[in-house]
Amino acid sequence: MLDDCSVEKILEIRKYIEALDAISSYEVYRWLIALGKQLNEHSLSEERRVEENRVTQCQADLYVDIEAGEFRAWSNALITAGYATLLADIFNSVSLDECTNITPGTIESLGLADKLSMIRKAGFYQMVTMMQERAFSVVNTNEGR
């Protein structure tokens, strides 16, 4: 189960998306583009941009993994990089153990998926699943020690 901090973060982001959408759906895209520009400041290293970390259902190049103890991503497309930044922020706001409880259904409550094209949505949800699986793998590896 998600703790209050992660639920609050998701609700905060949802309210922000709703406020932007009330102005114009274009504002949501402008926000995602701005977030995408931020991703390059703290992105997944080039060495980690390998096939096993690639989000294959995305039309753009998108990679995600845990690096230096946190989720990091990289994309060559700004809107994709924007939602990658958003997802990394959500997953990095909680412990890895709690990340295992974040599912595509949890992220659905953001209300962002209906703003994305079908192919972007596929990549978005695949990225969530990959992040959950990475967290689960790390948690289980650490429990075995």
pLDDT, tens only, 8-32: 888 889 999 999 999 998 999 999 9
Q: What is the pLDDT of residues 41-92, one digit of tens each?
A: 889 999 999 999 999 999 899 999 999 999 999 999 999 999 999 999 999 9
Q: What's this model's pTM, rounded to 2 decimal places?
A: 0.90
Confidence of residue 144 (pLDDT cuts 50, 70, 90): very low
Worst-scoring range by mean pLDDT, 41-55, 102-116, 117-131?
A: 102-116
Burial pattern 99-127, b for ≥16 Cβ within 10 A else e, equals bbebeeebbeebebbebbeeebbbbbbbb
CATH number of 4-143: 3.90.1010.10
